[in-house]
Amino acid sequence: MGGLYTLFTILIVIASVLLILVVLVQNSKGGGLAANFSSSNQVMGVRKTADFLEKSTWTLIIGLFLFSLLASATIDRGSGVPQSKIQNQIDRAIDPSQVPNLPTAFPEEN
């Protein structure tokens, strides 16, 4: 399970870096990478570039969300994690129902 967690962590980092780059390429005013293609006879026109960047942004966001969920599901929660000192004291405490009933110092008189 530890190997899957590491894999998902690496995928999260890669998706995050790609998402940062894709968002930085975009421009909210309609500029950015899409504005550099001024002629409409390019292989990818202005509108197709903007569509590609928007689709890749959403794809990376969904991938980042899914990788995060899968990473949290594959965290190794083995017994190697030490318990708190309070939990150890609770576990070692004597159960009151198991204590023997000792005779009292003064026996009852009839």
The 10s digit of each residue's pLDDT in 54-99 is: 899 999 999 999 999 999 998 877 656 566 788 888 888 777 677 6
pTM of the model: 0.56
The two tokens of residue 4 are 């899957």
Q: Is the pLDDT of residue 108 over 60?
A: yes
- What is the three-class DSSP state of 80? coil
Which residues face 32 on adjacent strands? 26
Higher pLDDT, 103 or 66: 66
Task: State whether the Cα torsion 63-66-68-73 is positive or negative.
Answer: negative
Which residues face 26 on adjacent strands? 32
Domain boundaries, the chain: 1-31+45-76
**pLDDT level of residue 3 (50, 70, 90 thresholds):** confident
Crossing angle of helices 2-25 and 46-73, rounded to 10°: 160
Residue 18: how many other CB atoms lie within 10 Å: 16
Amino acid at 90: I
Task: State whether the Cα torsion 22-27-32-35 is positive or negative.
Answer: positive
Higher pLDDT, 44 or 64: 64
